[in-house]
Structure 1
Amino acid sequence: MAVLSRRVRPDQWQPIGVAALEANALNVVRSSENRSVIAGPGAGKTELLAQRAAYLLQTGTAPRPRRILAISFKRDAAVNLTARVAQRCHRDHAGRLDSMTFDAFAKGLIDRFGQALPTHWRPTPDYEIVFPGERDFRDFLQNQLGSPPASIGTYADLQAIAVKSFERRHLVGSRLPVAGWRNPTPGQWAADQYWQSSLHGSATSHLSFPMIGRLAELLLRVNPMARDALRLTYSHLFMDEFQDTTQIQYDLVQTIFMGTATVITAVGDNKQQIMRWAMAMDAPFAAFEADFGATRTPLYNNYRSSPDLVRIQHVLAQALDTKSAKPVAMAAGSITGESCAIWDFSSVQAEATHLAAFVAAEMKSHDLSPRDFVLLVRQKAGDYAAVLEPAFAARGIPLRNEARMVGHVMLQELLAEEVSELLVAILRLAVCQASGRYWTLCQGRLGILRGIAPDDEAAQARLASDLDRFALDLLAAHTSPPVGKPNVRSTIDGIINWIGRDRIVAAYPAYRQGGWLDKVIDAAAEHLHISAGNGVDWETALDAYEGLHAIPLMTIHKSKGLEYHSVIFVGLDDGAWWSFDKDQIEATAGFFVAFTRAKQRVLFTYTAHRGNRSKIATLYNLLRSAGIQTHQIA
């Protein structure tokens, strides 16, 4: 590690942990200017940012005490980048990277400086996070508003506001005016009524993450000292999954960094934009390049998929962008037979039985694990799981619906929560035999929570002793998983109390308001209780908690950023893609995302029991144009 901690001359720096980077990627890593990086599937976007962080930190291009800010769309992407940088840098360097989601970044600003907002826009310190939907906005507009002042409009004007676009267009569609809207339109008046009800309508403010983003941007406009502090803190900014950036997030970045010396690297793929329903901008790369003078740089290599899958991907990509560059396949094919096919079944039961038999055979012949496969669906994962789970269970293969709710938390999101990860690591350290890697993980996380510097050897030694003693006590008290949810919850509460609830809340902004920490702990207890059923041992229970031996079933949106040996897309029909004709571009991008998760094989299934395929004929035509065959499965 001593070698990684020393200063390296820029002309002598070499990529770490990889054999090489493609020429354009290396240019971005060494760049001193704003870059807009178009990186297709399997191009190694996270690796690019990790190498750039290593270069900036190790060469002193990001000079002490300044830091690097990395903002991602998803929590697991932010965590993954932190881990990659930690593997490639000495901890003294890696500790100067702040990797977080846009929501966490904006929330942290409001939590620290929100009371400096003008009274009109100031939330209570103990505000709660809410997730309003179309039903909530309809109820507000139709039942709670009443009539506006005559100078603004009529009740009919309010009823004419489209519910579907109220949030995007009126509530958070533009920067908030410092003193409120002057001479507001009916839409602006309705938005202000919603804002004031959310901020001041009860003893505790209730805010959505888009609203928090707008307040954070306003905060930095009215508080130049806070804005300038951020500019001084961060010499470089990374923005991952940039194609999904919303106008709210873009405006926040613009207010902080536009016109400054902070160097920005925005990475993403405009062909994988699947979040327009969640207010993603139409053309964020073009806006960034125009506003920040960024140089567009494409990456060509695909390190994930086999050559045949890369060929098919290019056909799909051209349907989204006729100028899409032809990718270069860097991975080898490892299977015989078709790498992609459409399978037609007579019924959903026949489909489930055949898929289970196929996966069992593939696992045996290619020495694959369940986690090498994924079953993807467009929506309503629970409906598919009800039919598929029994068929896979009959083959001795657990199938897990990762889109199901555990309490108030989606299972896939629970597994990515910091508290959940730390609980599992401490339990594995205490009760499993092969626990060496968990020791390092636990000591690193706990050191951060306790504010212990990596080079404080005495404090690190005390922490190690404390951790060792707690792990031994935990094992002595629980030689096997506790029986019953109350006992499971008691065990988890004991770990939380030892870690220090206040330390957790201080370290992770998402846990500071709205009872989210309690919801995550409740969900962790519930999930561990289920995983430990039937009197299994600790290792089996924790494996089940993490789903290590189960095939995941998830939606397309939740598969973003993941990769699997084989992808099986269940239900390529009009029923699943009922909204295809409303936004064919985003739907095709979702289809592209699903396809590009695969390393070696992609299968699509269809049965007429779920619907026709006339509305999505475009997708079938794309597959046919790429040479994909349809097979009737008896």
Structure 2
Amino acid sequence: MAVLARRVRPEQWKPIGVAALEANAMTVVRSTDNRSVIAGPGAGKTELLAQRAAYLLQTATSPPPRRILAISFKRDAASNLAARVGQRCHRSHAARLDSMTFDAFAKGLVDRFGQALPKRWRPRTDYEIMFTSDALYRGFLLQEVGAPPKIIGSYADFQAISLREFERELLLGKPLPEDGWPIPTVGQWAADRFWQSSLHEGKTSRLSFPMIGRLAELLLRVNPMAREALRLTYSHLFMDEFQDTTQVQYDLVRTIFKGTETVITAVGDNKQQIMRWAMAMDDPFAAFDQHFVAKRTPLFNNYRSSPELVRIQHVLAQALDAHTVKPVSKTVGTVAGDSCAIWDFSTPEAEASSLAAFVANEIKTHTLVPRHFALLVRQKPADYAAVLAPAFEAAGIPLRNEAGFVGPMMLQELLTEEASRLVVQLLRLAMTKHAGRNWSECQAKLGVLRGIAIDDEPAQAKLARKLDTFATTLAAAHPKAPTSFADSLAIVEQAIDFIGRQRLVAVHTSYAQGGWLGKVVEAISSHLTGSATRGGAWSEVLDIYEGVDAIPLMTIHKSKGLEYHSVIFVGLDDGAWWSFANDQIEATAGFFVAFTRAKQRVIFTYCAQRGRRTKIATLYALLNKAGVTTIAVT
């Protein structure tokens, strides 16, 4: 429930839209010092930050025109926080929150100030986004870079560089030296050659997002005016999913805000750190507490999972942190029978048919829908989908591999793209009888894109008329869903033109370089075409596009931040967890993340045809310790 845009005395402020916050959460909301908040699964991290934003904005603790910066690891987390603040505050208050990903924040800085970088580190304005891989680094080190100068070191020293060391330590591990390395080691020489070739030796500069982060940190280090402008702009900083913060991201924040009056709230859970493979720091909380003199504050409530699931979760959590405090479940159990079990199957086909029948029965018996369930796998979701999808289709439940690609993009990522969301909202507004919230959301988002003030009533009324005219015209031109990619592309292009390409680029910096907006448009059109082949009326097609009536299949990493009534983890075996011994802590954290997506039930499946369960005996031992039973399903 939104409130009026009026100032509230700090002592009179109360949480908005919720009955109450736990004591520690309220302490964080009102805090005037830096805080590191350890918030376990279901603790309400997004709600905590939304309430803190509401408090700061409504009490003028963050006085206008100063703003709040919220940076997250994932795009959906950033958009979810912005939406939640919009629900908790008047629009004029919520408009002073800038919620974005670390990558978008760094890219925006480079796009605005990059030409002030030293020439050695200055990218061309039309730089492209590069997605790196082991193969790319291997090809560079073995074929492109050549032999190092003899004065630096031997070729044997060069050959000893591992791919992991090259990326994590040499290329991105430390802030960039303004004038380059005076006397580089062999590794530094190789890293510098990669930087210089990426920046200056191609048709245009090609940069990965971590490289952009390093450039952003350097430009603020050498440009005090830009750094001071950020400090003056933002009175408060929120960092979500802080356990996944990389050294690149941490150094950027440290360069901007260390030793300033900007108050920082870092929220996350060290038991859910599953991104060390993507260069997440080993213990960002300890570094933050030290460098920013932050006070650590734990949250104890779990608003997601039933008491029985919370009990089992605590057993898993203790394997990651022996000192973790048992959370308090604030919900009730609603399922009959086991809240958690391991189901053993003889074949993948038997597994698929049994799971489909189980979900179909649960939907019918308990008035649930497919999106209340999720199928999670460790890796290679397409392989599992090949067997699972036919069984679920036969049971009348579409299964959707959200890790699958639609054109140039992963489906799950496409659905979080702002361009995709806007196009779907416009189509629902134009093509369905009941516009509902789509009208108000389209009006609000277009107003932001066009720079129209919330209280500018004449401009808002003019925008409303334009929106109504566009919706009417689009509906008249396309009364039926598209039958080809060309038709879909024409519809999407019309929507994008109305939204405004340049406005999208100006507000969402990821669309500025490398033709990314064009790739997103292609993916939207491709997915709309595929959805139309399975649907009839526009409303049905758009439901298919968004997966309203489909059960999602995804990897553990892509499930993070989501929640479901029931989670079915398919394939608890050595084959799926082949790398378990390489990093048992991160693998166990991934297991914990998968388990904690569930509100009421977790089912693990095992099929001997896919692999044994000796290498992951540790995981089975934890489940056994928690009293989870194994059931042979025939």
Q: Under a length normalisation based on structure 1, what TM-score does the superposition of the two structures give?
A: 0.99
Residue aligning to 2:418 = 418
- Structure 2 residue 603 is the aligned partner of structure 1 residue 616: no
Residue aligning to 2:13 = 13
Task: Supply the distance in 1 between the matched residues of 2:579 and 2:499 (Cα, whole angstroms).
Answer: 47
Task: Supply the distance in 2 between the matched residues of 1:298 and 1:199 (Cα, whole angstroms).
Answer: 43
Whichever residue aligns with residue 233 of structure 2, its letter is T
- Structure 2 residue 546 is the aligned partner of structure 1 residue 538: no
Residue aligning to 1:282 = 282
Residue aligning to 1:348 = 348
Residue aligning to 2:497 = 497
Residue aligning to 2:136 = 136
Secondary structure class of the residue paired with 1:416: coil
Map of 1:6-45 to 2, 5 A cutoff?
A: 6-45=6-45
Aligned partners of 1:4 and 1:58 also within 8 Å = no
Question: How much has 1:165 moved relative to structure 2?
Answer: 2.5
Question: How much has 1:124 moved relative to structure 2?
Answer: 0.3
Residue aligning to 2:333 = 333
Q: Which runs of 5+ in 2 are unaligned?
A: none
Question: How much has 1:383 moved relative to structure 2?
Answer: 0.2
Could you give the per-residue CA deviations for residues 91-118 of structure 1, whole angstroms, max 9, x where no partner exists? 1100000000000000000000000000
Aligned partners of 1:17 and 1:88 also within 8 Å = yes
Question: How much has 1:164 moved relative to structure 2?
Answer: 2.6
Q: Which runs of 5+ in 1 are unaligned?
A: none
Whichever residue aligns with residue 55 of structure 1, its letter is Y
Could you give the per-residue CA deviations for residues 442-472 of structure 1, whole angstroms, max 9, x where no partner exists? 0001101111100000000000000001100
Residue aligning to 1:161 = 161
Task: Supply the distance in 2 between the matched residues of 1:534 and 1:299 (Cα, whole angstroms).
Answer: 45
Map of 1:108-127 to 2, 5 A cutoff?
A: 108-127=108-127
Aligned partners of 2:535 and 2:541 also within 8 Å = no
Task: Supply the distance in 2 between the matched residues of 1:483 and 1:363 (Cα, whole angstroms).
Answer: 32
Aligned partners of 1:70 and 1:100 also within 8 Å = yes
Question: How much has 1:433 moved relative to structure 2?
Answer: 1.2
Residue aligning to 2:572 = 572
Question: How much has 1:147 moved relative to structure 2?
Answer: 1.1
Task: Supply the distance in 1 between the matched residues of 2:91 and 2:447 (Cα, whole angstroms).
Answer: 12
Over 3 Å counting, the alpha-carbon distance change for 1:78 and 1:254 in structure 2 is: same
Q: Identical aligned pairs, as a percentage? A: 70
Aligned partners of 1:170 and 1:191 also within 8 Å = yes
Task: Supply the distance in 2 between the matched residues of 1:312 and 1:591 (Cα, whole angstroms).
Answer: 12
Over 3 Å counting, the alpha-carbon distance change for 1:453 and 1:327 in structure 2 is: same
Whichever residue aligns with residue 584 of structure 1, its letter is Q
Residue aligning to 1:205 = 205
Question: How much has 1:281 moved relative to structure 2?
Answer: 0.3
Secondary structure class of the residue paired with 2:220: helix
Residue aligning to 1:102 = 102
Aligned partners of 1:127 and 1:207 also within 8 Å = yes
Whichever residue aligns with residue 164 of structure 1, its letter is R
Question: How much has 1:535 moved relative to structure 2?
Answer: 6.0
Residue aligning to 1:252 = 252
Residue aligning to 2:562 = 562
Question: How much has 1:150 moved relative to structure 2?
Answer: 1.1
Aligned partners of 2:37 and 2:266 also within 8 Å = yes
Could you give the per-residue CA deviations for residues 166-225 of structure 1, whole angstroms, max 9, x where no partner exists? 110110010000000111111000000000000001131000000000000000000000
Whichever residue aligns with residue 482 of structure 2, its letter is P
Task: Supply the distance in 2 between the matched residues of 1:31 and 1:496 (Cα, whole angstroms).
Answer: 42
Whichever residue aligns with residue 333 of structure 2, its letter is G
Whichever residue aligns with residue 170 of structure 1, its letter is L
Aligned partners of 2:25 and 2:48 also within 8 Å = yes
Whichever residue aligns with residue 421 of structure 2, its letter is E
Aligned partners of 2:3 and 2:88 also within 8 Å = no
Aligned partners of 2:345 and 2:605 also within 8 Å = yes
Secondary structure class of the residue paired with 1:479: coil
Task: Supply the distance in 2 between the matched residues of 1:525 and 1:59 (Cα, whole angstroms).
Answer: 45
Could you give the per-residue CA deviations for residues 475-529 of structure 1, whole angstroms, max 9, x where no partner exists? 1111111211101101111111122211111111000001111111000000000
Task: Supply the distance in 2 between the matched residues of 1:512 and 1:192 (Cα, whole angstroms).
Answer: 26
Aligned partners of 2:573 and 2:613 also within 8 Å = yes
Whichever residue aligns with residue 137 of structure 1, its letter is Y
Task: Supply the distance in 2 between the matched residues of 1:310 and 1:545 (Cα, whole angstroms).
Answer: 34
Residue aligning to 1:550 = 550
Task: Supply the distance in 2 between the matched residues of 1:2 and 1:630 (Cα, whole angstroms).
Answer: 48
Residue aligning to 2:59 = 59
Residue aligning to 1:174 = 174
Over 3 Å counting, the alpha-carbon distance change for 1:265 and 1:218 in structure 2 is: same
Residue aligning to 2:380 = 380
Residue aligning to 1:261 = 261
Question: How much has 1:70 moved relative to structure 2?
Answer: 0.2
Whichever residue aligns with residue 197 of structure 1, its letter is S
Residue aligning to 1:443 = 443
Aligned partners of 1:146 and 1:155 also within 8 Å = no
Whichever residue aligns with residue 502 of structure 1, its letter is Q
Task: Supply the distance in 1 between the matched residues of 2:14 and 2:395 (Cα, whole angstroms).
Answer: 48
Aligned partners of 2:535 and 2:544 also within 8 Å = no
Task: Supply the distance in 1 between the matched residues of 2:439 and 2:177 (Cα, whole angstroms).
Answer: 50
- Relative to structure 2, which stretch is displaced further, 86-95 or 527-536? 527-536
Task: Supply the distance in 2 between the matched residues of 1:596 and 1:452 (Cα, whole angstroms).
Answer: 41
Question: How much has 1:4 moved relative to structure 2?
Answer: 2.5
Over 3 Å counting, the alpha-carbon distance change for 1:353 and 1:501 in structure 2 is: same
Residue aligning to 2:432 = 432
Task: Supply the distance in 1 between the matched residues of 2:447 and 2:48 (Cα, whole angstroms).
Answer: 28
Whichever residue aligns with residue 448 of structure 1, its letter is V
Task: Supply the distance in 2 between the matched residues of 1:243 and 1:4 (Cα, whole angstroms).
Answer: 35
Task: Supply the distance in 1 between the matched residues of 2:257 and 2:313 (Cα, whole angstroms).
Answer: 36
Q: Under a length normalisation based on structure 2, what TM-score does the superposition of the two structures give?
A: 0.99
Task: Supply the distance in 2 between the matched residues of 1:370 and 1:436 (Cα, whole angstroms).
Answer: 23
Aligned partners of 1:198 and 1:206 also within 8 Å = yes
Over 3 Å counting, the alpha-carbon distance change for 1:160 and 1:94 in structure 2 is: same
Secondary structure class of the residue paired with 1:4: coil
Secondary structure class of the residue paired with 2:479: coil
Task: Supply the distance in 2 between the matched residues of 1:164 and 1:570 (Cα, whole angstroms).
Answer: 30
Whichever residue aligns with residue 217 of structure 2, its letter is E
Secondary structure class of the residue paired with 2:150: coil
Residue aligning to 2:146 = 146
Task: Supply the distance in 1 between the matched residues of 2:483 and 2:531 (Cα, whole angstroms).
Answer: 11
Question: How much has 1:534 moved relative to structure 2?
Answer: 4.9
Residue aligning to 1:512 = 512
Over 3 Å counting, the alpha-carbon distance change for 1:175 and 1:314 in structure 2 is: same
Aligned partners of 1:81 and 1:99 also within 8 Å = yes
Residue aligning to 2:465 = 465
Secondary structure class of the residue paired with 1:588: helix
Task: Supply the distance in 2 between the matched residues of 1:332 and 1:174 (Cα, whole angstroms).
Answer: 48
Residue aligning to 1:75 = 75
Over 3 Å counting, the alpha-carbon distance change for 1:535 and 1:237 in structure 2 is: closer
Aligned partners of 2:37 and 2:265 also within 8 Å = yes
Secondary structure class of the residue paired with 1:609: helix
Residue aligning to 2:524 = 524
Aligned partners of 1:480 and 1:538 also within 8 Å = yes
Task: Supply the distance in 2 between the matched residues of 1:169 and 1:579 (Cα, whole angstroms).
Answer: 22
Residue aligning to 1:626 = 626
Task: Supply the distance in 2 between the matched residues of 1:380 and 1:238 (Cα, whole angstroms).
Answer: 34
Aligned partners of 1:121 and 1:215 also within 8 Å = yes
Aligned length: 634
Residue aligning to 1:480 = 480
Residue aligning to 1:188 = 188
Residue aligning to 2:605 = 605
Task: Supply the distance in 2 between the matched residues of 1:534 and 1:70 (Cα, whole angstroms).
Answer: 39
Task: Supply the distance in 2 between the matched residues of 1:609 and 1:535 (Cα, whole angstroms).
Answer: 36
Task: Supply the distance in 2 between the matched residues of 1:534 and 1:604 (Cα, whole angstroms).
Answer: 31
Task: Supply the distance in 1 between the matched residues of 2:620 and 2:43 (Cα, whole angstroms).
Answer: 26
Question: How much has 1:407 moved relative to structure 2?
Answer: 1.2
Task: Supply the distance in 2 between the matched residues of 1:147 and 1:337 (Cα, whole angstroms).
Answer: 65
Task: Supply the distance in 1 between the matched residues of 2:526 and 2:407 (Cα, whole angstroms).
Answer: 7
